[in-house]
Chains A and B, each alone.
Chain A
Amino acid sequence: MQPNGIWVYAITERVDLTPLAQIRGVGGRGVRTVAAAGLTAVVEDVGLAEFGEEALRRNLEDLDWLEAAARAHHGVIDAVAQQGPLVPMRLATVYSDDARIAAVLTERGADFRSALRRITGRMEWGVKAYADRQPEASDDSAVTAGASRPGGGAGAAYLQRRRNQLTAQKNARRETLASAEMIHAALSGYAAETRVHTPQAPQLTGIKAPMILNAAYLLDSARGGEFAAAVTALAEQHPALRLELTGPWPPYSFAGTGGEGGLT
């Protein structure tokens, strides 16, 4: 029999395993729990041949493996989150036995409990803003202005046109950034907490327009509809930006017990 490790998905106060019976975790098995100090860790036994240190290191570099693991990890967390507040673990948190997990639950019980308190009755929503429209509108006027000037060569007119274009682009850029800040400020008004994340690369989003805002909002569950309506209204007020709303998510971005989202 191969040696096992224990993969941790989330920490919560209590969980009913019955609705989780059909859920397959990262190792393809079902989940179980480890309880201590009034807290419950949702875990899965995983073979060290695939989830040991060396294997993990290698597998995490494999995009197909990574995708499957990420989706499975998220799938379990998402299912547990339907039952109540939880602190999601980062991918690849693996312990050697139950006793070690129980010890962590006990030692850090106060931290976990305070994190759970903060997110009770709340879910995370994500809002991204893309700068969708490139400024091309000023093109025609720039051409006209350049051409009508006396004494200029065609080359100079062209150069002037390009310069105007650049200026217009810079102005539009500034306006777009200001719009994103206004949107974030407005949406923050609905949230108990917010986090601003690094924008995702176009290669990752598959969207050519640059992402200029990637924020997470921790909302009281009852405010989801209101928040979505606010996003719609803001999208109408800022037509140069494309807004994308995702959620509700388990509170990944607010899992930490401190201000910066991590126990250290």
Chain B
Amino acid sequence: MTTARVMQPGAEAAQAYGSSAGGGGGQVANLGDILERVLDKGLVIAGDIQVNLLDIELLTIKLRLVIASLETAREVGIDWWERDPWLSSKAFDRAADGRDLEQENEQLRERVKELESGRSSREIPRTGRKSRAT
């Protein structure tokens, strides 16, 4: 579904495209987008009041932002603001079940090994059934 996001009066409607109905919507610019721009972009000139958003304060703000919206610090993806490559696969790894699946796979492998060695006392090769089936 298309979700209109009008950022400015008189401006063309900004839209979210795609299959999912999610994506917020609403008539004001998303807070995350505004914060990203006013905290991270924009011209930096040294004011007389020295609050350096580039240093530790900025990280603290962002960390707290994430924590505030999360409630459980455990789940914080603490490296999302780092300057890692823009198409970092980390984004995927953090998502949903990536890491869990790896772990589950490992556990399953162990379990299968146990079960099958109990019946046939043969170890399953790491490449799986394929090598024996052919």
Give the interface of A toward B (CB within 8 A): 5, 8, 11, 51-53, 56-57, 60-61, 63, 66-67, 70-71, 73-74, 78, 82, 87-96, 100, 104, 108, 115, 125-126, 130-134, 146, 149-153, 155-160, 162-163, 165-166, 169, 173, 177, 180-181, 196-216, 224-225, 228, 231-232, 235, 239, 241-249, 252-253, 255-256, 261-264
Contacts and interface: CB of A to CB of B under 8 A. Distances in A.
Interface of B: 5, 7-8, 10-12, 14-20, 22-24, 29-45, 47-51, 53, 57, 60-61, 64-66, 68-70, 75-77, 80-84, 86-89, 91-92, 94-96, 98, 101-102, 104-105, 108-109, 111-112, 115-116, 119, 124, 128-130, 132-133
Best-surrounded residue of A63, A91, A239 (most CB of chain B within 10 A): A91
A159 B43 contact: no
The list of the 4 closest CB pairs from A to B, nearest first, reads A242-B18, A155-B112, A94-B49, A252-B41
B53 to A, nearest CB: 6
A87 B105 CA distance: 52
Contacts of A169: 98, 101
Nearest to B40: A197
Contacts of A201: 66, 77, 80
Given A78-B8, A153-B119, A198-B86, 6 more contacts: A8-B45, A61-B57, A70-B35, A169-B101, A210-B92, A245-B17
